[in-house]
């Protein structure tokens, strides 16, 4: 443990996570290292200052402050990362070796990059695939033809490189967009439809087959979601589950199948859709003990804004206070409607920063971006649903293009380690929004977001000591306190 005073004891929990336990006296947090990304500057995750906390006492109302209370600990962070889809892996395969190495290090290296610690991937095809496919032959109810040969060409090799670069271990979870067409009442993997009753057991077994096939390839699977966006009839792969239908599929089929096949420890995530219907879905599933016993968490996306609504963080808080022992996990978000002319828009990264600060403050334990890499067209995508990623590849030149979303994500993922706990924090000015964490090594990580057009001078205040910080307009800063 670095720079922590003697009155802290180190112990190892049953899960092996090293934590600090206070024994009565205050720790000697003194040094603050400031990292900044700001509009109209060259700062991109740049080290911009080193400060010292000095005695300050009671702030006045005229002295803007960001307050930190490290004695108040909340949820434990599982990880922060993004999705490796077919589109990501296919784009990656088109790059020269040098750019491939750059991309993998940029995301998964703790030293050279932003240290991603979580991966999502698609089971069967999704919109960000070049075509529609499954892993079994038509009408193979017994799944005797099941094979993941499709994934072995692009996706599995890339995932393996990510795991190796991340240190040999990274939580990966899987999400289906649709069962095979013959299992559905519309006989189509696209355009919604529902899973037929007669195939529910076979579809539950499909998850088991997929997980075991990936693990046989040396890729451990940490968790799974039941269905991507189960209330959306899309022109791409989709499948509708009402809350009651998802509840019953979990308790009658998927949960028991995982248990019976020795996969009961996998983290089962329900919903995997927007924040707007989050509370209704969570209460319907989790109020049923027979379903709830299988559920590790509730997943959510940020696309409720399509209705004209703002992001509905209050719904996260309602679920968190109602079911404090169930984990909240952000499973997908991206900026839609790709346009290469918008690649440098500052609002792209700010959407990430705004969501992440509020999601973590609402109880979220893990945060997953959508595609980590797309091409210069915002694809490939077999239905033309082109979107932004934090990094795009110009497949003609082999060069990588970094949007500011990459840096905004990095202000969290590079510094907030798996096993960190969120701690108390508050701002005395509405132009600054903030969240904070204590890492397993005892360092404090404070993220401050300024969405305004104004620079804001404030005091970073901790246990009666403070350091003066300048928040630039349209900036995000991470302050590491040791």
C-alpha–C-alpha distance, residues 139 and 169, integer Å: 36
- Contact present, 195 and 249 (Cβ < 8 Å): yes
Pick from 187, 289, 191, 301: nearest CA to 239: 191
291: enclosing H helix or E strand: helix 289-292
Chain centre to alpha carbon of residue 264? 23
Number of alpha helices (DSSP H) and beta strands (DSSP E) in the chain? 12, 23
Q: From edge to edge, which strands make up the β-sheet containing 46-52?
A: 46-52, 31-38, 475-481, 444-450, 432-438, 421-427, 65-76, 456-462, 465-471, 54-55
C-alpha–C-alpha distance, residues 398 and 395, integer Å: 5
- Any catalytic annotation for residue 152? no
* Alpha helix segments (H runs only) across 83-144: 86-93, 97-108
Name every residue whose Cβ is closer than 8 Å to that of residue 300 and which is 6 or more positions away in sequence.
Answer: 271, 272, 273, 274, 275, 278, 316, 328, 329, 330, 331
* DSSP per-residue letters across 372-436: SEEETTS---TT---B--SEEEETTTTEEEE-HHHHHHHHHHTTS-TT-EEEEEEESSTTEEEEE
Q: Which residue has the tokens 């305004």?
A: 452
Q: Which residue has the tokens 């934090």?
A: 390
Q: Is the dihedral of CA 317, 319, 321, 324 positive or negative?
A: negative
Q: Which of 102, 304, 332, 350 is an active site residue?
A: 332
Strand extents, DSSP E, 258-326:
267-274, 297-301
Q: Which of 102, 229, 237, 246 is an active site residue?
A: 229
Pick from 102, 87, 169: nearest CA to 406: 102
306: enclosing H helix or E strand: none
Distance between first and last Cα of the chain: 10
- Any catalytic annotation for residue 229? yes
Task: Kindly state the tokens that stand for 407.
Answer: 């840096």
Pick from 445, 451, 411, 446: nearest CA to 432: 451
Name every residue whose Cβ is closer than 8 Å to that of residue 383 and which is 6 or more positions away in sequence.
Answer: 127, 190, 235, 236
Q: What amino acid positions are annotated as catalytic residues?
A: 229, 332
């Amino acid at each position: 443990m670095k720079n922590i005073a003697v009155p802290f004891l180190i112990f190892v929990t049953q899960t092996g996570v090293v934590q600090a336990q206070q024994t009565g006296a205050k720790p000697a947090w003194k040094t603050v290292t400031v990292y900044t990304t700001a509009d109209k500057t060259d700062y991109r995750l740049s080290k911009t200052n080193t400060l010292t906390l000095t005695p300050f006492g009671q702030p006045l109302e005229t002295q803007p402050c960001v307050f930190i209370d490290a004695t108040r600990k909340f949820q434990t962070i599982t990880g922060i990362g993004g999705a490796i889809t077919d589109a990501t892996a296919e784009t990656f395969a088109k790059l020269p070796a040098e750019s491939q190495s750059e991309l993998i290090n940029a995301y998964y290296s703790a030293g050279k990059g932003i240290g991603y610690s979580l991966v999502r991937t698609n089971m069967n095809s999704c919109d960000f695939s070049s075509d529609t496919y499954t892993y079994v032959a038509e009408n193979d109810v017994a799944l005797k033809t099941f094979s993941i040969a499709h994934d072995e060409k692009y996706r599995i090799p890339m995932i393996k490189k990510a795991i190796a670069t991340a240190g040999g271990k990274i939580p990966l979870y899987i999400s289906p967009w649709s069962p095979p067409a013959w299992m559905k009442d519309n006989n189509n993997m696209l355009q919604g439809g529902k899973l037929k009753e007669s195939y529910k057991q076979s579809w539950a077994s499909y998850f088991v087959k997929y997980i075991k096939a990936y693990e046989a390839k040396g890729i451990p699977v940490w968790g799974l979601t039941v269905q991507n966006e189960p209330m959306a009839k899309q022109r791409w792969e989709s499948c509708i589950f009402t809350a009651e239908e998802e509840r019953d599929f979990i308790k009658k089929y998927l949960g028991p199948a995982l248990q019976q096949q020795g996969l009961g420890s996998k983290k089962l995530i329900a919903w995997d859709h927007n924040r707007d219907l989050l509370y209704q879905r969570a209460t319907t599933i989790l109020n049923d003990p027979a379903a709830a016993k299988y559920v590790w968490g509730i997943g959510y996306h940020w696309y409720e804004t399509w209705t004209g609504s703002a992001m509905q963080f209050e719904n996260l808080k309602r679920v968190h206070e109602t079911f404090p022992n169930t984990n909240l996990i952000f499973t997908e978000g991206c900026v839609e409607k790709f346009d290469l002319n918008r690649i440098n828009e500052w609002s792209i990264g700010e959407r990430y920063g705004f969501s992440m600060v509020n999601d973590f403050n609402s109880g979220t334990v893990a945060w997953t971006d959508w595609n980590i890499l797309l091409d210069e067209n915002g694809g490939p995508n077999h239905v033309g649903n082109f979107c932004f990623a934090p990094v795009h590849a110009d497949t003609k030149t082999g060069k990588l293009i970094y949007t500011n979303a990459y840096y905004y994500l990095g202000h969290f993922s590079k510094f907030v380690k798996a096993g960190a706990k969120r701690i108390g924090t508050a701002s005395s000015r509405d132009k600054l929004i903030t969240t904070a964490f204590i890492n397993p090594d005892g360092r404090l990580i404070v993220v401050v977001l300024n969405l305004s057009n104004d620079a804001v001078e404030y005091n970073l205040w901790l246990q009666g000591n403070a350091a003066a910080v300048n928040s630039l307009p349209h900036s995000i800063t991470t302050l590491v306190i040791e």
